Amino acid sequence: MLWIKSLHIVFIASWFAGLFYLPRILVNLAQETNPAATQRLLLMARKLYRFTTILAFPAVLFGAWMWLGYGIGKGPGNGWMHAKLFLVILVIGYHHACGSLLKKFEKGANTRSHVWLRYFNEVPVLLLLAIVILVVVKPF
């Protein structure tokens, strides 16, 4: 089980690294006026989004393996796991929202300001903080 847990942690850290950086690229895209720089940022964002998506699959798979295969978080007194799973669903939704924003930038149809994107950029930090607290502290 420790191998699975280790792999889960590595893929979660890698997935979140992408979720931390991708919105920063979107902030820069919202501010960019040079077409060549815009194309470069779009290329970077597309590649990062694809790579981050690939990292998300084993992160979720190894987490599910620990939950369903080893029973971590099952049974009474494990309300923290239900809250964590809800937050994981929000992380997956955030990931898809990043993809949706990227598609809008690619079409030249972005309506979000760089200020809005700066706030949007903080969401995965808050989600990760809440998830780590739930897993480590297990408050309920």
Average pLDDT over residues 80-89: 97
Average pLDDT over every residue of 101-130: 98
Q: What is the distance between the alpha carbons of residues 104 and 95, in angstroms, rounded to a whole number? A: 15
Q: DSSP 3-state assignment of 121?
A: coil
- pTM, to two decimals: 0.94
Whole-number Å distance between alpha carbons of 55 and 110: 26
In this predicted model, what pLDDT tens digit does every residue of 53-75 receive, in sequence order? Answer: 999 999 999 999 999 999 999 98
Helices (H) and strands (E) in the chain, counts: 6, 0
Label residue 72 left, alpha or beta by phi (over 0 means left) and psi (-120 to 50 means alpha).
beta
5 CB burial (10 A radius; 0-12, 13-18, 19+): middle
CA distance 60 to 63: 5
